[in-house]
Amino acid sequence: MRSVFRRFVKFSANHPLRFMYSLTLYQVKEILSYYPSNYKQSAVIPLLDLAQHQHGGWLHVSATNVVGKYHLLVCGTTPCMIRGSRDIESVLLDHLGVKRGEVTKDGFFSVGEMECMGCCVNAPMITVEDYSNGSQGYTYNYFVYVTPEKVVEIVEKLRKGEKPPHGTQHPKRIKCGPEGGNTRLLGEPKPLQFRDLDAC
C-alpha cells in the first residue's frame, strides 16, 4: 500500500497538471452523482463553484473580457429599459466612440450591459467598475436615476481622475425616496392584528 502511495506522490510531483485534471474529473463525477440522470444540468452551480476554486476563488473580469480602467455597465432590464437605458447606452457609446464590449483607444473606458441590479425604483442606472487603482483598489459603484447628460458628466469627471458622487443623480431625491419627500408610511407602522384564539 505504501509503495502505491509513494508512486502516486511521485507521479503527482512529475505531472502536476495531469494530477489536477484527474482530481477535478473525480470531483466532477462526484458532484454529478448527487443528481438524478434527467437533472444532471442542475449541477451547473456546484461545477462553476469548482471552476472558481481552481482559479483561486474569484474569477477576475479581465480573465474573460478586456475592459477599460473604468468599465461602465448599463442596466438593460425592463424597468431601466422603459426609463431610457437604451438612450443612456447609445449616448455613452457615441461619446466614447466605441461599440459595446470595446475599449477606448486610451484604455480608459469600456461599456457593457448587465441585468437588473435591484435599483429599479431609481431607474435607469449604471454601474462603474473602477480598476484605476488595480484589482486591489477595485471599486464598484451604482449611479442611479441617470440621464444622458449625467452619464457624460460622470465619464468626463472620471477621465480627469475625479470621483463623481455615486448614488442618486436626481437633485431632489434623497436615496430612494420620492421627489418632495415621503407621502406614505410616515408614522410608526401599526402592529399586526391577530385573531384571539383563546376567545374562540
Q: Which residues are annotated as a binding site?
A: 75, 80, 116, 120
Rule CB under 6 A: which residues touch ligand FES?
75, 77, 79-80, 116-120, 123, 125
Q: How far is the CB of 193 from ligand FES (least distance, A)?
A: 33
Q: How far is the CB of 177 from ligand FES (least distance, A)?
A: 17
Give 75 or 96: the residue with its C-beta nearer to ligand FES.
75
163 Cβ neighbours under 8 A, 6+ residues apart: 157
| Phi-psi label, residue 154: left if phi above 0, alpha if psi -120 to 50, beta otherwise | alpha
Q: How far is the CB of 76 from ligand FES (least distance, A)?
A: 8
Grid cell for residue 128: 462603474
Going from the C-alpha of 157 to that of each of 66, 100, 112, 121, 160, the distances in angstroms are: 22, 21, 19, 25, 5
Give 88 or 103: the residue with its C-beta nearer to ligand FES.
88
Give 72 or 123: the residue with its C-beta nearer to ligand FES.
123
Is 126 within 8 Å of 158 (Cβ atoms)?
A: no
Annotated binding site for [2Fe-2S] cluster: 75, 80, 116, 120
